[in-house]
Amino acid sequence: MFQRCKSLCLNIQLRYKSILSKAEAKERRNLLFEEEKKRQRNAVGRIEKIEVKYQSPVEEITLVMNKHISTPADCAKHISEGVTKVSALALVDGVPWDMHRPLTSNCNLKLLNLLSPENKAVNTAFWRTCSFILGSVIDTSFKSDVNVHLHSFPVPIIKSGSFIYDVYLDLASWEPTSQEMRVLSAQYIKLINKDLDIERIETTENVAHNMFLDNHIKLEQIPNIAKCNNNKITLYRIGDHVDISKGPMVGNSSLIGRCTIAAVHKISEEDNLYRFQGIALPKGVMLNQYAYGILEKRAKILNNTSWSFISDESKEENCIEASATN
Q: What is the amino acid identity at position 290?
A: Y
Q: What are the strands of the beta sheet with 163-169, ordered from one edge?
A: 148-152, 163-169, 273-282, 256-268
What are the tens digits of pLDDT across the range 54-104?
Answer: 988 788 999 999 999 999 999 999 999 999 999 999 999 999 999 999 999
pLDDT class for 269, splitting at 50, 70, 90?
Answer: confident
Count of beta carbons in the 10 Å neighbourhood of residue 275: 22
pLDDT class for 5, splitting at 50, 70, 90?
Answer: very low
- For the chain, how far is it from start to end, CA to CA, in angstroms? 39
d(CA 294, CA 182): 17
SS (H, E, C) 189-242: HHHHCCCCECEEEEEEHHHHHHHCCCCHHHHHHHHHHHHHCCCEEEEEEECCEE
pLDDT class for 271, splitting at 50, 70, 90?
Answer: confident
The lowest-confidence range among 168-172, 207-211, 307-311 is: 307-311
What pLDDT was estimated at residue 119?
72
What are the tens digits of pLDDT across the range 149-195?
Answer: 999 998 888 889 999 999 999 888 899 999 999 999 999 999 999 99
**% of the chain residues with pLDDT over 90:** 74
